């Protein structure tokens, strides 16, 4: 049977990226229109604060109470001023906004009445069992029981209702404040943003009370209605939303304690609603129990905290790949004793829920849980807290941050933890102390990696710089010159020395900036920066962690680029960014002029654009393992002509291809694989001048 495949002339070859990890030499690539020239940039890391979107310390924005009528109040901290974390100066680029929906639930409190405190006492004429001197019959066991039954119901409450037009306008206005700045936001919607429903008191007669006192969420239908109303806003501000906390359930929206907050069934319907409402490009951060509940319902499995580490790594594009983890007690954990391995219910949230649907409390294992988080390869962060333990101090806290790929942390909480990091001097002797609290087998690691770049600095500085991704250009080789109708080629390597990954998809563009007049010309590539994965060993000496950065771009992609000298830049920003230079990713390299703030781009090198000499291709005729390219050939014996070829899905530049015959119509290319797409062009060198055809595409096949 004869078959003919569709053919097309391509004015641009594919823009290619490979992810193999190796060093690149500055050698000429055979078949390129110009040799690849080493660029002589500074390829070392500068250990200073490099503010970037979607990573680092964040500023918490509490008290954003969504109004029923009016404009509401509260100003978003968009990171315009530096903040000190453990003595390290940080320029934040994340605003964590907690939108408080207290006015939209009949079960939550809009303000506090008389509070249960250490000094609270029930009326003297009420007999309380815990009060010394009171006698039976006791009306209540504790002062707390009396307060909850008689005082708490008098507190003012909201009304379960749809979000009003003013409410939606308020949320939009706050997100616009973020867009007007130079940062991004994590957003959370909750019904008790200030924790009015939580009591934490050491009472001299009742003892220690640390618990939720009310189910503060509205009914299921109202929660789902609110999520549906928020969907258009989340899509409208996709460009500045880093991610969305699961929220909605529990005090502070931290997904614990209430009936919904401890229900696998409730998490299944709530997270399904969020998957629909949140743009597909953005992640949803949840507690472990919330995710496992959703996953079990979705795939009819029965994972628990005993086997959470056996959950398969999510495949790209699946709904499970969209979930990250928010830890409201980051790095905390008891060292030993009766409370071990208590972590204040953050990592272990879900273990020990009523009826133990995900396993009993003692089935939680830190190593298994952290291994699941590592497999998710998504957003991981939260807020550090707790007194000093082996878990939240060096060297373990730095090692675990890399293992779990920590992306972001609260700059405002908790100072005592941050100060311990700031007091830690980062030296080899201190970092290489044996970690006696290391995970159990098979995840046991007893020694952290020491990075000499930070020798003598503080643990807070190390954390500041390593949170999330941090990109260092390690090698750069670019076309020494390129014709206006040629192909600009680049071969280099990059290293992500951060704890975490680039989670959100980014546009990666190449920018040519004229050295004569400063005008710039941009071409979008198909490079996926999310593939620049970090390694537990972030040292510069670990060349196995270098990721390939290569591209070949037809000059037509840049538009009409005048002849002249140009600097080559790499610009990395959100696909929906609305400004020319905000929220772009900056490399952490040493050297002057690496970062162009006006472009929002990083210097890769320079090249010269020369005048074009086109040879038009008039016909492409494929055959069995072969193809004929017809063009106006000046010498039928092929003198001065060369064919450059590459498979469409192959990495790297075009290479010289010699299995050809020339004729009066052009060139006959042989030895090809049927069903494989190729790119090719023909170049002529005659009389000291170079000309070439456009790049064409073809797929050989049976005729």
Task: Please tell me the least confidently modeled range out of 227-231, 431-435, 681-685.
Answer: 681-685
Predicted pLDDT of residue 24: 28
Average pLDDT over residues 111-124: 96
CA 686 to chain centre: 51
Q: What is the pLDDT of residues 483-492, one digit of tens each?
A: 888 899 999 9
Task: Please tell me the least confidently modeled range out of 17-21, 59-63, 599-603.
Answer: 17-21
Average pLDDT over residues 538-545: 97
Q: Under a CB-based contact definition with an 8 Å cutoff, are residues 668 and 626 in contact?
A: yes
Predicted pLDDT of residue 507: 97
- The H or E element that residue 626 is part of is strand 626-631
Predicted pLDDT of residue 643: 96
Angle 59-65-66 from CA coordinates, rounded to 5°: 120
CA 397 to chain centre: 20
Distance CA 483, CA 488 (A): 8
Question: Are domains 36-45+472-610 and 613-698 of this chain identical in fold?
Answer: yes
Q: Under a CB-based contact definition with an 8 Å cutoff, are residues 444 and 434 in contact?
A: no
Lookup: tokens for 645: 């070829």
Lookup: tokens for 308: 């959470």
Q: Which of 381, 385, 445, 448 is nearest to 420 (CA)?
A: 385
How confident is the prediction for the chain on average, in pLDDT?
91
Predicted pLDDT of residue 20: 27
Q: Under a CB-based contact definition with an 8 Å cutoff, are residues 519 and 599 in contact?
A: no
Q: What is the pLDDT of residues 34-78, one digit of tens each?
A: 689 999 999 999 999 999 999 999 999 988 999 999 999 888 988
Q: What is the DSSP string of 628-646?
A: EEEE--S-TT-TTEEEEEE
Q: What is the pLDDT of residues 616-665, one digit of tens each?
A: 889 999 999 999 999 999 888 999 999 999 998 887 678 999 999 999 99
Predicted pLDDT of residue 340: 53
Average pLDDT over residues 2-13: 30
Task: Please tell me the least confidently modeled range out of 104-108, 366-370, 421-425, 501-505.
Answer: 366-370
Residue 2 has pLDDT above 70, yes or no: no
Helices 288-299 and 264-277 sit at what angle, rounded to 10 degrees? Answer: 90
Q: What is the DSSP letter of 45?
A: B
CATH architecture of the domain 613-698 equals: Sandwich (2.60)
**pTM for the full predicted model:** 0.84
Q: What is the pLDDT of residues 166-218, one digit of tens each?
A: 999 999 999 999 999 999 999 999 999 999 999 999 999 999 999 999 999 99
Predicted pLDDT of residue 66: 97
Q: Which of 610, 651, 349, 643 is nearest to 527 (CA)?
A: 651
For the chain, what is the radius of gyration of the CA atoms? 30
Average pLDDT over residues 356-362: 92
Q: What is the pLDDT of residues 234-263, one digit of tens each?
A: 999 999 999 999 999 999 999 999 999 999
Integer angstrom CA distances of residue 158 from 105, 152, 193, 418, 601: 5, 14, 13, 37, 48
Q: What is the DSSP string of 640-677?
A: TEEEEEEETT--S--EEE--EEE-SSEEEE-SPPTT--
Residue 4 has pLDDT above 90, yes or no: no
Task: Please tell me the least confidently modeled range out of 9-18, 111-120, 315-324, 393-402.
Answer: 9-18
Residue 25 has pLDDT above 50, yes or no: no
Q: What is the pLDDT of residues 33-44, one digit of tens each?
A: 468 999 999 999
Predicted pLDDT of residue 318: 97
Q: How confident is the model at residue 17 (pLDDT cuts 50, 70, 90)?
A: very low
- Residue bearing the bigger pLDDT, 267 or 592: 267
Q: Which of 501, 497, 573 is nearest to 533 (CA)?
A: 501
Average pLDDT over residues 287-297: 96
Q: Under a CB-based contact definition with an 8 Å cutoff, are residues 35 and 607 in contact?
A: no
Residue 670 has pLDDT above 70, yes or no: yes
Q: What is the pLDDT of residues 386-429, one digit of tens each?
A: 888 888 999 999 999 999 999 999 999 999 999 999 999 999 99
- The H or E element that residue 471 is part of is strand 471-479
Using the CB atoms, write b or e for 492-529: b if 16+ within 10 Å: bbbbbbbbbbbbbebbbbbbbbbeeeeebbbbebebeb
Angle 547-548-551 from CA coordinates, rounded to 5°: 150
Residue 686 has pLDDT above 80, yes or no: yes
Distance CA 187, CA 636 (A): 67
Distance CA 310, CA 199 (A): 37
Residue 6 has pLDDT above 90, yes or no: no
Q: Taking the C-alpha atoms of 447, 449, 455 and 457 in order, what is their torsion angle to the nearest 10 degrees? A: -80
Average pLDDT over residues 106-124: 96
Strands 323-330 and 380-384: parallel
Predicted pLDDT of residue 335: 57
Residue 15 has pLDDT above 80, yes or no: no
Q: What is the pLDDT of residues 550-583, one digit of tens each?
A: 999 999 999 999 988 999 999 999 999 999 999 9
Q: How confident is the model at residue 347 (pLDDT cuts 50, 70, 90)?
A: confident
Domain ranges of the chain: 36-45+472-610, 58-111+157-394+401-415, 113-154, 613-698
Q: How confident is the model at residue 23 (pLDDT cuts 50, 70, 90)?
A: very low
Q: What is the pLDDT of residues 137-155, one digit of tens each?
A: 999 999 999 999 999 999 9
CATH of the structural domain 36-45+472-610, one choice from 2.30.110.20, 3.65.10.10, 2.60.40.10, 3.60.21.10: 2.60.40.10
Distance CA 430, CA 458 (A): 11
Q: Under a CB-based contact definition with an 8 Å cutoff, are residues 274 and 246 in contact?
A: yes
Q: Which of 653, 649, 641 is nearest to 693 (CA)?
A: 641
Distance CA 95, CA 175 (A): 10
Q: Taking the C-alpha atoms of 259, 265, 267 and 273 in order, what is their torsion angle to the nearest 10 degrees? A: -120
């Amino acid at each position: 049977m004869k078959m003919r495949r569709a053919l097309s002339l391509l004015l641009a070859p594919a823009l290619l990226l490979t992810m193999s990890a190796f060093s690149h030499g500055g050698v000429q690539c055979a078949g390129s229109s110009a040799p690849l020239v080493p660029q002589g940039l500074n390829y070392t890391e500068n250990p200073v604060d490099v503010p970037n979107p979607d990573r680092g310390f964040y500023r918490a924005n509490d008290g954003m109470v969504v109004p029923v009528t009016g404009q509401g109040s509260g100003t978003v901290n968009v990171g315009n001023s530096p903040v000190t974390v453990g003595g390290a100066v940080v320029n934040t680029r994340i605003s964590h906004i907690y939108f408080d929906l207290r006015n939209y639930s009949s079960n939550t409190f809009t303000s506090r009445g008389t509070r249960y405190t250490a000094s609270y006492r029930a009326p003297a004429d009420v007999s309380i069992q815990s009060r010394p001197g009171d006698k039976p019959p006791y009306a209540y066991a504790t002062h707390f029981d009396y307060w909850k039954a008689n005082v708490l119901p008098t507190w003012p409450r909201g009304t379960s209702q749809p979000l009003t037009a003013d409410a939606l306008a308020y949320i939009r206005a706050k997100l616009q404040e973020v867009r007007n700045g130079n940062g991004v936001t994590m957003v959370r919607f909750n019904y008790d943003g200030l924790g009015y429903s939580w009591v934490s008191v050491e009472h001299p007669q009742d003892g220690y009370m640390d618990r939720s006192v009310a189910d503060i969420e509205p009914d299921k239908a109202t929660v789902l209605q609110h999520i549906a109303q928020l969907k258009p806003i989340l899509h409208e501000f996709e460009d500045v939303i880093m991610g969305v906390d699961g929220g909605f359930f529990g005090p502070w929206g931290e997904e614990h304690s209430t009936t919904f907050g401890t229900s696998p069934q409730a998490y299944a319907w709530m997270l399904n609603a969020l998957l629909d409402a949140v743009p597909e490009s953005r992640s949803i951060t949840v507690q472990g129990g919330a995710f496992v509940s959703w996953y079990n319902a979705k795939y009819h499995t029965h994972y628990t905290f005993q086997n959470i580490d056996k959950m398969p790594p999510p495949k790209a594009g699946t709904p499970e790949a969209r979930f990250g983890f928010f830890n409201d007690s980051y790095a905390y954990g008891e060292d030993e004793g009766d409370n071990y391995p208590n972590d204040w219910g953050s990592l272990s949230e879900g273990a020990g829920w009523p009826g133990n649907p995900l396993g009993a409390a003692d089935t939680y294992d830190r190593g298994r849980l952290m291994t699941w988080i590592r497999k998710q390869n998504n957003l991981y962060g939260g807020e550090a807290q707790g007194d000093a333990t082996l878990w939240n101090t060096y060297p373990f806290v730095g090692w675990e941050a890399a293992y779990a790929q920590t992306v972001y942390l609260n700059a405002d909480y908790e100072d005592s933890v941050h100060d311990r990091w700031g007091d830690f001097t980062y030296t080899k002797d201190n970092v290489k102390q044996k970690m006696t609290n290391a995970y159990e087998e098979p995840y046991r690691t007893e020694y952290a990696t020491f990075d000499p770049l930070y020798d003598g600095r503080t643990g807070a500085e190390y954390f500041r710089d390593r949170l999330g991704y941090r990109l260092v250009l390690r090698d750069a080789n670019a076309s020494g010159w390129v014709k206006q109708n040629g192909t600009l080629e680049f071969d280099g390597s990059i290293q992500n020395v951060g704890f975490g990954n680039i989670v959100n998809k980014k546009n990666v563009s190449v920018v040519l900036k004229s050295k004569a007049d400063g005008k710039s010309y941009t071409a979008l590539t198909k490079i996926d920066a999310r593939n620049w994965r970090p390694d537990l060993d972030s040292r510069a000496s670990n060349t196995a962690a270098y990721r390939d950065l290569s591209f070949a771009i037809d000059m037509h992609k840049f538009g009409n680029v005048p002849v002249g000298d140009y600097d080559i830049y790499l610009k990395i920003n959100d696909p929906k960014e609305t400004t020319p230079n905000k929220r772009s990713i900056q490399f952490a390299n040493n050297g002057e002029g690496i970062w162009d703030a006006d472009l929002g781009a990083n210097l890769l090198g320079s090249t010269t654009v020369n005048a074009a000499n086109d040879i038009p291709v008039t016909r492409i005729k494929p055959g069995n393992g072969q193809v004929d390219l017809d063009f106006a050939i000046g010498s039928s014996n092929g003198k001065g002509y060369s064919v450059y070829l590459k498979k469409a899905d192959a990495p790297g530049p075009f290479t010289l291809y010699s299995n050809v015959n020339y004729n009066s119509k052009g060139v006959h290319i042989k030895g090809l694989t049927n069903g494989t797409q190729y790119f090719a062009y023909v170049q002529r060198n005659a009389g000291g001048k170079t000309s070439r055809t456009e790049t064409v595409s073809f797929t050989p096949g049976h005729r």
